[in-house]
Amino acid sequence: MDAPLLDARPARPPADATPRERALLLLAEAGALLHASLDPEATLSSVAQLVVPALADWCAIDLADDPPRRVAVAHVDPEKVRFAEEVRRRWPDDPDAPHGVHHVLSTGETEWMGEIPEALLVASARDPEHLEVIRALGLRSYICVPLVARERVLGALSLVNAESGRLFTAGDVALAEDLARRAALAIDNARLFTEAEAARALAEQNADRVRLALDAGRFGPWEWDVAAGRVWWSPAIEAMHGIPEGSFDGTFEGYARDIHPEDRDRLFAGIESLLREGTHHFVRYRIVRPDGQTRWLEAHGRLYRDAAGRPVKLIGVCGDVTEKLLAEKEARRLERERCASHAYALRAEIAEALTTRGDLATVMTRCVEALTSRLGLVAAALWVAEPEGYALIAQAGAPIDGAFARLPFDAGPFRGILDPDGPLVSEGAGDPRLEGRPLPAGASWLGGLRLGHGDQRAGVLGLFAERPLSEDLVGVLSLAAEAIVQSIDRLRAKATLAAYAQELARSNAELQQFAYVASHDLQEPLRMVASYTQLLARRYRGRLDADADDFIAFAVDGVTRMQTLINDLLAYSRVGTRAREPVEVETERVVADVLANLRTELERTGTRTHVGRLPRVRGDAGQLGQLFQNLVANAVKFRGEAPPEVHIDAEPGDGEWTFVVRDNGIGIAPEFHERVFIIFQRLHTRDESPGNGIGLAICKKIVERHGGRIWIESGPGTGAAFHFTLPATAQ
Amino acid sequence: MTEHAIEILLVEDNPADVRLTIEALKEGKMKNRLSVARDGLDALAFLRREGAYADAPRPDLVLLDLNLPRMDGRELLAIIKRDEALRRIPVVVLTTSKAEEDILRTYDLHANCYVTKPVDLDQFIEVVKSIDDFWLAVVKLPRE
């Protein structure tokens, strides 16, 4: 509501004014009111106030809404207005009544009753109370005129005289109609204005949107009047070029001036081509602004031609896309980074999978599992090269058809996919290269990576996916493939090594068993040969002839040597077959026992022994005794001219002890340092020194069985020092 | 010591070994009579005077090899030492085996002693002679 207007009570016409003068004054006032506001309802209310009491006791205005709506009621007494409204509320107008507002609104005809007949009041009344109320209102005379504008009934103006006793004249009716016409026009105008306003607001909103869109993309419109050679730039474009608004000179040269030299030829060639035969214009180019800044602009346009097809006008928009390009570049960089981090994660995951403990199949299964989950594959599989082709050893995801179990070296379905220089993306389910091997359920794309470099064939990695993998990812995979190849090589080498080690252990055990069985079983018949040749010698020496004695002597000698050999062989093989679990051994005590065993021999040869502090070690006490006994006996056996001396010492090392058995004997030339440890290798003739050269071989075997090493430091005439290591006890 | 010969039962399947033992015993001082059983069952029949051995003498000493066909020495030893009539006959295990296990086991079966056959003939003869001496001359055995 517009309060000031409402309160502006019109001036009263002078008491002596003629009816004609009063009417003119009323219309003038009403017209002023009606044009003063664009709010029709507020205005109509003011008009109603203006009419009462000058023209009528009552005035009401209804608008032809559905249902009709009373927008203004006026009476000199506000109490009466409220009362009338109450009456109307209780007894609403009958829309089908042959008189009244509804009737006027529907017919568009004026109703005029100079004097309301009693019969009409009775007919209109709904009930006796209503009739009484109507009578109480004292309604005398009545006019109802339609508000018509542009042939449409917009509402109705009702005038009623009651208390004043005045009766409406034909002049009043004309005045009312005049007033109604003006009011209708005002309402129509206001409505048109409101609609226009709304349309304008909508247009403005749209314009705003366009402007926002242009601003957002930093776009501004431009025009090139080709015929006139004039260029128009919107202020936005001037801003893009970094020049003050309105300063663009409007020439093509002015436009061309800022274009980056490197982009100029390309741009102008495009424009020429456009003028010659094109319609749509799209260019992206750089400008160098007066302040030296380089910006990227993007122009879109449409070329209009005249009827003869001559270019007339190129109209378009132009935007600064520098930030957009930067953003795009950044987005690409981020995407690359995301890809890289994805790649990194993938490689890390594969690397982790490859460190799984287990055999080739276990490790590769983990690997393809990682690929399947990380890349969201339907399935992944890995084949390794075997002599006849590739064999499937690992798969993950959806089950892979059995036909994929083996692949020929050209890799069958992967043929062509396996580019020698890297991976290739394939066609998919319909690919004839699949050769009847159905893809796993859900997969429509097959990718493969050949594992191995150049001619090396390590394996094939197969990927089954719903849709092709990005080339970036495939690139990443080829990096991962490197690690997979290394892992395959390593695991296969490990497996081969393990197989060799197992085979070696088996053949060693077999050999040992053979040596034992051979030497043991040979002993019996040999004992017989020996016994009977000895019996021959015992009973018949000197009783046959000299030849017989010689022959018997040779036979006895040979058989005795053979017995020794077999015994030695048995002893040597027993180092391996008769081994006991290692325990903690006091080597000092072992050595003391050994020296006690050898006492007779040591005394006989005048050998002096010196034993240092010896440690506890882990080992087989019996074998260690044999070791020391062989070394001490060896030292005594190969004594020189001087009285033999044997030193036994030990020094701690890293988790082991190094023992030394040193003598002052004849020593061993360096070239024989290795040979002395070989079974049945003798450095001396049988005459010089007895024995089969088994002692040191047994020593070496014992030391090695204990996880140690044995070596000699010696030269001829300088004595010999036998060093060997034994593992220290846990503490 | 006595004018009548000492009865020895040699349980040994290898004829060469049998002969060697005979030869070794020949060199001993004791007069002896050697009977030979070729396996455990044969020896048991001899000891129990069964079948062809009804008139067999009761041996004063049994020399027993361990590895025998049909019934091996360990089994025979166990039977002898469970048999009240035979358990007092000294049984000397004379074998090529030096295995600890064999030694322990035969003593557990109450062998009277365990002797490894020396490889060398001279030593073998010495061993057989000393067995002869020890068990038939030195040791006081219960009267039958």
pLDDT score at A622: 87
Is A106 a member of any domain? yes
CATH number at residue A99: 3.30.450.40
What is d(CA A343, CA A355) in angstroms, rounded to the nearest whole number? 18
pLDDT tens per residue across span B4-19: 678 889 999 888 889 8
CA A530 to chain B, closest CA, distance in angstroms equals 7
Pairing of strands A608-611, B91-95: unpaired
- Residues of chain A positioned with their CB less than 8 A from the CB of B16: 528, 531-532
CB within 8 Å: A523 and B119: yes
Q: Domain containing A254: what range?
A: 217-320
Give A70 or A201, the one with higher predicted confidence: A70
pLDDT score at A667: 84
Is B48 a member of any domain? yes
3-state secondary structure A116-134: CCHHHHHHHCCCHHHHHHH
Q: Are residues A614 and A716 in the same domain?
A: yes
CB-based contact, A530 to chain B, within 8 Å: yes
- Residues of chain A positioned with their CB less than 8 A from the CB of B116: none
- Residues of chain A positioned with their CB less than 8 A from the CB of B121: 530-531, 534-535, 538
Residue B119 tokens read as 């490889």
pLDDT score at A649: 92
Number of domains in chain B: 1
- A705: amino acid identity, one letter: R
pLDDT tens per residue across span A196-240: 777 767 766 766 666 666 665 567 889 999 888 899 998 888 888
pLDDT tens per residue across span A512-521: 777 777 777 7
Is B144 a member of any domain? no
Q: Which residue of A has its CA nearest to B124?
A: A531
pLDDT score at A217: 54
- Residues of chain A positioned with their CB less than 8 A from the CB of B96: 523-524, 527
pLDDT tens per residue across span A322-350: 877 887 777 777 767 766 666 667 777 88
Is A348 a member of any domain? no
CB-based contact, A528 to chain B, within 8 Å: yes
Alpha-carbon distances of A251 from A108, A224, A289, A317, rounded to whole Å: 64, 9, 17, 17
Q: Which residue of B has its CA nearest to A535?
A: B121
Q: Provide the pLDDT confidence category of residue A711 given band limits of 50, 70 and 90.
A: very high
Question: Residue B3 above 70 pLDDT?
Answer: no
Is B96 a member of any domain? yes
Q: Are residues A161 and A228 in the same domain?
A: no
CB within 8 Å: A534 and B121: yes
What is d(CA B93, CA B64) in angstroms, rounded to the nearest whole number? 5
Is B75 a member of any domain? yes
Comparing CA positions, the residue from A337, A345, A336 lying closest to residue A477 is: A345
Looking at A293, A320, A347, which one is the last position of a domain? A320
Contact assessment for residue A667 and residue A720, using Cβ atoms and an 8 Å cutoff:
yes
Q: Which residue of B has its CA nearest to A528?
A: B16
Comparing CA positions, the residue from B83, B74, B26 lying closest to residue B49 is: B83
pLDDT score at B60: 87
* Per-position DSSP letters for A22-91, written without gaps between them: HHHHHHHHHHHHHHH-S-HHHHHHHHHHHHTTTT-SEEEEEE--SS-EEEEEEESSHHHHHHHHHHHHHS
Q: Are residues A40 and A181 in the same domain?
A: yes
The torsion of the CA quartet A188, A193, A194, A195, rounded to 10 degrees, works out to: 90
- Residues of chain A positioned with their CB less than 8 A from the CB of B122: 534, 538
Q: Are residues A187 and A222 in the same domain?
A: no
Pairs of CB atoms within 8 A across A/B: 30
pLDDT score at A651: 92
Contact assessment for residue B78 and residue B24, using Cβ atoms and an 8 Å cutoff:
no
CB within 8 Å: B16 and A523: no
Number of domains in chain A: 3
Q: Are residues A56 and A90 in the same domain?
A: yes
CB within 8 Å: B120 and A534: yes
Question: Residue A3 above 50 pLDDT?
Answer: no
CA B119 to chain A, closest CA, distance in angstroms equals 6
Residue A400 tokens read as 């892979």
pLDDT tens per residue across span A167-207: 888 888 888 888 888 788 777 777 777 777 777 677 667 66
CB within 8 Å: A531 and B122: no
Q: Provide the pLDDT confidence category of residue A628 given band limits of 50, 70 and 90.
A: very high
pLDDT score at A725: 92
Question: Residue A83 above 90 pLDDT?
Answer: no
Query: In b/e form, how buried is each residue of A679-697, taking b as 16+ CB within 10 angstroms?
Result: beebeeeeeeeeebbbbbb
pLDDT score at A4: 38
DSSP SS3 for A208 = helix
Averaged pLDDT, A639-658 = 89
Is A113 a member of any domain? yes
Among A residues 199-218, those touching chain B with beta carbons less than 8 Å apart: none
Task: Determine how many CB atoms are found less than 10 A away from the CB of residue A306.
Answer: 10
CB-based contact, A532 to chain B, within 8 Å: yes
CB within 8 Å: A527 and B119: yes
CB-based contact, A541 to chain B, within 8 Å: no
Q: Are residues A231 and A97 in the same domain?
A: no
CATH number at residue A685: 3.30.565.10
pLDDT score at A394: 92
Is A617 a member of any domain? yes
Contact assessment for residue B63 and residue B77, using Cβ atoms and an 8 Å cutoff:
no
Q: Provide the angle, in degrees to the nearest 10, between the axes of the packed helices B100-108 and B73-82.
A: 20
Question: Residue A10 above 50 pLDDT?
Answer: no
CATH number at residue B121: 3.40.50.2300
Alpha-carbon distances of A608 from A391, A449, A721, rounded to whole Å: 70, 75, 16
Residue A262 tokens read as 């490197």
3-state secondary structure A295-334: EEEEEEEEEEECCCCCEEEEEEEEEECHHHHHHHHHHHHH
What is d(CA A704, CA A696) in angstroms, rounded to the nearest whole number? 12
Q: Are residues A89 and A131 in the same domain?
A: yes
pLDDT score at A287: 92
Pairing of strands A710-714, A645-652: unpaired
Is B70 a member of any domain? yes
Q: Are residues A109 and A234 in the same domain?
A: no
pLDDT score at A1: 37
Q: Domain containing B111: what range?
A: 6-138
A329 — phi, psi (to 5°)? -65, -45
- Residues of chain A positioned with their CB less than 8 A from the CB of B124: 531
Q: Are residues A26 and A125 in the same domain?
A: yes
Is B143 a member of any domain? no
- Residues of chain A positioned with their CB less than 8 A from the CB of B119: 523, 527, 530, 563, 567
Averaged pLDDT, B50-64 = 88
Q: Provide the pLDDT confidence category of residue A632 given band limits of 50, 70 and 90.
A: very high
What is d(CA A459, CA A360) in angstroms, rounded to the nearest whole number? 12
pLDDT score at A658: 93
CA B106 to chain A, closest CA, distance in angstroms equals 21
Task: Determine how many CB atoms are found less than 10 A away from the CB of residue A223.
Answer: 15
What is d(CA A62, CA A84) in angstroms, rounded to the nearest whole number? 15
CATH number at residue A312: 3.30.450.20
Contact assessment for residue B94 and residue B67, using Cβ atoms and an 8 Å cutoff:
no
Place of tokens 């006959």: B89
User: Least CB-CB distance to A535: which of B23, B117, B119?
Assistant: B23
Q: Provide the pLDDT confidence category of residue A724 given band limits of 50, 70 and 90.
A: very high
pLDDT tens per residue across span A690-701: 565 678 888 998
Give B85 or A472, the one with higher predicted confidence: B85
- Beta-ladder partners of B6: B32
Averaged pLDDT, A310-320 = 88
CB within 8 Å: A523 and B120: no
Question: Residue A43 above 70 pLDDT?
Answer: yes
What is d(CA A305, CA A311) in angstroms, rounded to the nearest whole number? 4
Is A144 a member of any domain? yes
Q: Are residues A252 and A131 in the same domain?
A: no
Is B32 a member of any domain? yes
pLDDT tens per residue across span A361-380: 888 999 889 888 888 888 99
CA A277, A281, A287, A289 torsion-angle sign: positive
CB-based contact, A493 to chain B, within 8 Å: no
Averaged pLDDT, A532-543 = 86
Question: Residue A493 above 80 pLDDT?
Answer: yes
Substitution target in B121, B124, B125 with the highest count of A β-carbons within 10 Å is: B121
pLDDT tens per residue across span A495-529: 888 888 888 888 877 777 777 777 777 777 888 88
Is B1 a member of any domain? no
CB within 8 Å: A530 and B17: no
A112 — phi, psi (to 5°)? -140, 125
Contact assessment for residue A110 and residue A145, using Cβ atoms and an 8 Å cutoff:
yes
